[in-house]
Chains A and B, each alone.
Chain A
């Protein structure tokens, strides 16, 4: 079992490599084909910077080379373990990413955790008591969640909790310049900052996951083996939480894993609204300034995270569903 799992992970990693390669080629091509370059954007608005200076910089950073030459030198650098340096800040891209990734992961995982913890009971009760109060309330909540733009919800929450009630901070991942008297103080401050963005993202996910679990549970509840479970004389509680939920969670787990990419892109907006120092904002900022090395680095990092999430999903799925093996 462990051996099979190890083989599986190795095999899947090899399968992922061509995908990652293709992503890098596509993204590299697109960003270089897009009009403008870092120096035009950064310096072009400044009348005191001459065209010659810009041209000099383009030459210096090899931006005038054919695109495939640029790509190959980027790839070589990456394979040697270097993600390059930001055109704008001159900091190592890997450093920037390493500072940002934990923040995004923290936000995304908290949001997903909130969503899972809410969606399992809500979805279950909605399905079991179809048409009941909980079902109707959760239907409204979900409909709002699915149709509401995330940034708008974020702004509403800021208005309510931060501006009106003055309960929670509106931006950042911690209070800047604050000196904490203890680790606990620091953690508390970070949690305060996390609540609003995680709630915003988590709410959207709750909406989706609740509906998903409800419908997959309804589907499972109409299956013959549920009748068999009842026929054996099992308590209804056991029928639902053991026999039905175990099966209904299969598509749920897939949805959680596959949604990771969606979550990361959702995080881009949320991070922007809440000025959350995560990968999302790094990508947005880098895109606006055409900071090629940063765009490439963050994109590849995101792709790796998505691939990893899918791999974990498949492993968990195979663990839950005996019909799937690691072959």
Chain B
């Protein structure tokens, strides 16, 4: 995990994404800086509503009204800022550079078109392939995700697929144009446990086979442990800790990360572990002053209630946004 040697695919700098609602401005992503490297699997974890999906959608500029990207830049391969792309450029970028696998495979495929049509549609706009060749490519994509007899299945409609198969088809669609990054936004949370394991295994294999970067958004620290190279922990619109996965599990730095890991229920007990942490999730409309986690933090100090901690480098490719480390209280 030597940062300097790896090629940076995405460099997100001071990204701000707000939702303008009647209740006020929801600062779903508030000044987030993050790098995604080529070939890595980065897991984005955090409680429900902390802005994980919003952050992922921003990478395709797919945040919908009333949401808006209000600041920052997203540099693709070190040079181009995708936030400055015009409509045509961003359409060429979507699907071919970044693709997203959504959470619910029952609703992420269009029910009135055949699976093959939906894949072929992506292939024809991004690659110089048409007709038979494009269909052949779609069969390849389906067989890559281990859909049996892809020639037949391509001509079936989503409702003729099981939920697990649909998620495979969705992954095939995402991979069909060889993107640099696949975002999997809780790809298994709507599936049965056995199917979940199969999909995770598939993602693992694909990652090794294709070398595609994966941004894995999840609630499930078990999934993270299995798949990720690095972990980014998000809390109330901010990244509070980021670093290699082994270090994170061995010694989480941020008090919130510790709480997360401490709250892991015994295996196979079907509890949402992130709900176990005491206190209310901080509001994104009127976040608490200072560190957003301080009302729930056991170690909160005076400064935590006043100043917003920045992400600081603590070595070994790890970063944490917490005054305990800045002030040297903890190491």
On A, residues with C-beta under 8 Å from B are 223-225, 227-236, 243, 246-247, 320-323
Residues of chain B touching chain A, judged by Cβ–Cβ distance below 8 Å, are 60, 62, 64, 87, 91-96, 99-100, 102, 104, 107-114, 118, 121-122, 125-126, 157, 159, 170, 173
Contacts of A320 in B (CB 8 A): 112
- Evaluate contact between A224 and B95: CB separation under 8 angstroms: no
Once A224-B107, A322-B111 are accepted as A-B contacts, the answer to whether A231 and B126 lie under 8 Å apart by CB is no
Complex CA gap A320/B104 in Å reads: 24
Interface pair B173/A323, CB less than 8 Å apart = no
Interface contact A233-B96, CB-CB below 8 Å: yes
- Chain B nearest CB, measured from A225 CB (Å): 4
CB distance from B126 to the nearest CB of A (A): 6
B157 A322 Cβ-Cβ under 8 A: yes
Q: Choose one: A231, A235, A247; the contact of B110 (CB below 8 Å).
A: A247
Q: Are A225 and B91 in contact (CB under 8 A)?
A: no
Main secondary structure of the interface of A (DSSP, over half): helix
- Decide if B102 touches A228 in the complex (CB within 8 Å): yes
Among A224, A233, A322, A323, the residue within 8 A (CB) of B104 is A224
Take A321-B112, A323-B159 as given contacts and tell me if A223 and B125 are in contact as well, using a CB distance cutoff of 8 Å: no
A314 to B159, CA, bound (A): 19
**Contact: B62 with A230, CB < 8 Å?**
yes
Given the contacts A230-B62, A231-B60, A246-B112, A225 and B125 also touching, CB distance less than 8 Å? no
B105 nearest in chain A by CB position: A224
Q: Which of B94, B113, B157 contacts A230 (CB 8 A)?
A: B94
Chain A residue with the shortest CB-CB distance to B122: A232
Q: Which residue of chain A has the shortest Cβ distance to B90 in the bound complex?
A: A233
Known: A231-B60, A323-B157. A225 touches B94 (CB 8 A): no
Residue of chain B at shortest CB distance from A247: B112
Q: Of A225, A236, A321, A323, which one neighbours B108 at CB under 8 angstroms?
A: A225
Q: Within the complex, what minimum Cβ distance (angstroms) separates B64 from chain A?
A: 8
Expressed in whole angstroms, the Cα–Cα distance for A230 and B95 within the complex equals 9
Known: A232-B173, A233-B93, A322-B157. A225 touches B60 (CB 8 A): no
Once the chains bind, are A232 and B125 in contact (CB under 8 Å)?
yes
Cβ-defined contact, A225 with B121, below 8 A: no
Asked if A233 and B92 make an inter-chain contact with CB atoms under 8 angstroms apart, the answer reads yes
Q: Are A229 and B110 in contact (CB under 8 A)?
A: yes
Instruction: Among B110, B112, B126, B170, point to the contact of A233 (Cβ < 8 A).
Output: B126
Question: Chain A: which residue is nearest B123 at the CB level?
Answer: A232
Residues on A with C-beta less than 8 A from B94 are 230-233
* B188: min CB distance to chain A, Å: 16
Find chain A residues with CB under 8 A from B118 CB. 228
Inter-chain CA distance A229–B107, complex, in Å, is 12
Q: How far is the CA of A225 from the CA of B113 in the complex (A)?
A: 11
> A247 and B111: CB pair below 8 A?
yes
Within 8 Å by CB of A235, from B64, B91, B96, lies B91
Chain A contacts of B170 at CB under 8 A?
Answer: 228
User: B161 → chain A, closest Cβ, in Å?
Assistant: 12
- In the bound complex, what is the Cα–Cα distance between A243 and B111 (angstroms)? 10
Q: List chain B residues, Cβ under 8 A from A225.
A: 107-111
A234–B104 alpha-carbon span in the complex (Å): 21
Known: A224-B102, A227-B62, A322-B159. A232 touches B111 (CB 8 A): no
User: From B109, which residue of chain A is reached at the shortest CB distance?
Assistant: A225
Known: A227-B102, A322-B157. A233 touches B111 (CB 8 A): no
CA gap between A246 and B114 in the complex, in Å: 13
| A227/B125 contact (C-beta < 8 A), A232-B95, A234-B91 known | no
Q: A223-B107, A233-B126, A243-B113 are in contact. List 16 more A-B contacts (CB 8 A).
A: A224-B108, A225-B109, A227-B102, A227-B108, A228-B100, A228-B108, A230-B60, A231-B94, A233-B91, A233-B93, A234-B91, A246-B113, A322-B114, A322-B157, A322-B159, A323-B159
How far is it, in angstroms, between the C-alpha of A225 and the C-alpha of B159 when the chains are bound? 13
- How far apart sit A323 and B62, CA to CA, in the bound complex (Å)? 29
A228-B109 in contact (CB<8A): yes
Q: Give the CA-CA distance A322 to B121 in the complex, in Å.
A: 18
A243 to B118, CA, bound (A): 10
Which residues on A sit within 8 Å (CB–CB) of B93? 233
In the complex, which residues of chain B have a beta carbon less than 8 angstroms from the beta carbon of A235?
Answer: 91
B109: which A residues are within 8 A, CB to CB? 225, 228
A-B contact pairs, 25 of them (CB 8 A): A224-B102, A224-B108, A225-B108, A225-B110, A227-B108, A228-B100, A228-B108, A228-B118, A230-B62, A231-B60, A231-B94, A232-B121, A232-B173, A233-B91, A233-B93, A233-B95, A234-B91, A235-B91, A236-B87, A243-B113, A247-B111, A321-B111, A322-B111, A323-B111, A323-B157
Distance (Å) between the CB of A135 and the closest chain B CB? Answer: 14
A196 to chain B, nearest CB (A): 39
Residue from A224, A227, A233, A243 whose CB has the most chain B CB atoms within 10 Å? A233
Closest A residue, CB atoms, query B157? A322
Are B95 and A231 interface neighbours, CB within 8 A? yes
